[in-house]
Structure 1
Amino acid sequence: MKLISWNVNGLRACMGKGFMDVIEQEQPDAICLQETKMLREQADFQFPGYLEYWNSAEKKGYSGTAIFTSTEPISAAYGIGCEDYDREGRAITLEYESFCLVTIYTPNSQRGLERLPFRMVFEDKLREYLYRLREKKPVVVCGDLNVAHRPIDLKNDKSNIGNAGYTYEERGKFSELLASGMTDTFRYLYPDKEEAYSWWSYRSNSRENNTGWRIDYFLCDKRLESRIEDSLILPQYTGSDHCPVCLILKEDENA
């Protein structure tokens, strides 16, 4: 099963910058989007062969998630059960036969860390939500988690300590999530791979110079580790300031 996650930084804009190339060339079984910044009825594009699940923010042109899947899920759920975050359209869960797929758009702590307290509570609420899901079946979590976990995950680690996305608090919450029984699939396969990033600032030719951050992830329940075939970053797609990331799962031998 091939899964893709992409912060598209506005789906309508990304549609004009090669979004469909990802679907046509990668042929994912499901593609999970963050920062869609739209309501479904605001555009007339179609995705043949895919069922669509949308969770848009109440605030227009802000946040939002979506999942397009070629396999009909058993069920779909929106949000993490906390109104303060759910009104921003930050999560969708699709239940499949052997696991639940959760796409997440974690709040950015913003300049001056104005939203860090808001984000810290989100981290705890998300971990609690995933714990409840995992009592039923394993989970795969993907999305823009807005944190570079380790120094290897961003170009200029020392000068960014304390900045949004690389505070000790944010990195600590990510460590807690992993310690709860989740695996960073990319680092599981490529623990020492350097200069592997998924987001680049639009300033200072950051993408051309590969001055980036790895803040987009596929995490999986440790119970699914044996099914990890590959975990990839796809920087060749340039329709956003983020690039897609990909997880390929082997078939469930117990299915």
Structure 2
Amino acid sequence: MRLISWNIDSLNATLTSDSARAVMSREVMNNIVEQDPEVIAIQETKLPRTGPTKKHEGILNDLFPDYEYVWCISEEPARKSYAGTMFLYKNHLKPSITYPKIDAPDTMDVEGRMITLEFGDFYVSQVYTPNAGSGLVRLEERQQWDEKYAEYLSSLDEKKPVIATGDFNVAHKEIDIAHPDRNHLSAGFTDEEREGFTQLLNKGFTDTFRYVNGDVTGQYSWWNQRAKTSKVNNSGWRIDYWLVSDRLADKVKKSDMLDSGERQDHTPLVLDIDID
């Protein structure tokens, strides 16, 4: 089974804009189509309150004629066209779909951050983890989220194995970031966030990229688009993940990044796993 995850930073813009960035994003989307995955997880869709428009639906149906799709969007009192997640899956698959609420703080539970697909013998769940924010203004709430989210994944794992993906907004170890020395107090690399991710893994989950690739360095999933040379200089962070229940780890055959060319920001992740 092949699965792909991508923080797209606006599905809306990717599908409808004519900007140079949107053109690059569509090239990445076409690369995903060529990979022919069974499941595609997308974060930061930034869709309107009503979900995909008829224009969005037409383009998605042209791009993905063999797929069904479901989405979760921000609801009041969260900001409009903020965050948001979507799953696309081959139409021969018939998962049960839930939109989890985890008793998260602030408006995090209504920001469209999670969708879970339940198959016969396993779950596939995606998340767009809240950012601790500029000046770490949301760090305390982020820590609460990490605890609640870990409890949620663990509750799924008690029932059947889990495949979890998304933008976790944390570089777990120093080898997961190009410049750990200068980012120690940056959102996504604080001791608190890194410890939260460690605690999640300790509940019985495997970081598949590290499981397959060991301690390889210099491979990242995000480059800051505000820094024009971040990708050219490979000043990146690995903050996007495919996790699996520990008992699925030996079924993972590939866990890697897909090439997104010159486009900065997130790059897609691919997971190949022997699972029915």
TM over 0.5: yes
Distance 1:222 1:23, change over 3 A: same
Q: In 1, are the aligned partners of 2:132 and 2:187 still within 8 Å (CA)?
A: yes
State the Cα distance separating 1:128 from its structure 2 match.
Answer: 1.1
Distance 1:236 1:190, change over 3 A: same
Distance 1:163 1:206, change over 3 A: same
Question: What is residue 97 of structure 2 aligned with on the other side?
Answer: 76
Question: What is residue 129 of structure 2 aligned with on the other side?
Answer: 106
Q: In 2, are the aligned partners of 1:198 and 1:235 still within 8 Å (CA)?
A: no
Q: Structure 2 stretches of 5 or more lacking a match?
A: 16-21
Matched, 1:165 2:185: no
Distance 1:157 1:190, change over 3 A: same
Q: In 1, are the aligned partners of 2:73 and 2:81 still within 8 Å (CA)?
A: no
Question: What is residue 41 of structure 1 aligned with on the other side?
Answer: 52
State how far apart, in whole Å, the 1-side matches of 2:262 and 2:8 are: 10
State the Cα distance separating 1:22 from its structure 2 match.
Answer: 2.8
Identity %: 41
Residue 20 of structure 1 aligns to a residue whose secondary structure is: helix
In the TM superposition, what whole-angstrom CA distance separates every residue of 1:55-87 from its partner, at most 9, and x where no partner exists?
011232210001000143331000233264220
- 1:9-88 matches, cutoff 5 A: 9-15=9-15, 16=22, 17-18=25-26, 19-39=28-48, 40-42=51-53, 43-44=56-57, 45=59, 46=61, 47-58=64-75, 59-70=79-90, 71-82=92-103, 84-88=107-111
Matched, 1:133 2:156: yes
* Worse-superposed segment, 69-78 or 223-232: 69-78
State the Cα distance separating 1:130 from its structure 2 match.
Answer: 1.1
In the TM superposition, what whole-angstrom CA distance separates every residue of 1:127-155 from its partner, at most 9, and x where no partner exists?
11112111210101100000000010010
Distance 1:238 1:25, change over 3 A: farther
RMSD across aligned positions (CA): 1.6
The amino acid of 1:121's aligned partner reads Q
Give the TM-score normalised by structure 2.
0.87
State how far apart, in whole Å, the 2-side matches of 1:236 and 1:163 are: 25
Q: Structure 1 stretches of 5 or more lacking a match?
A: none
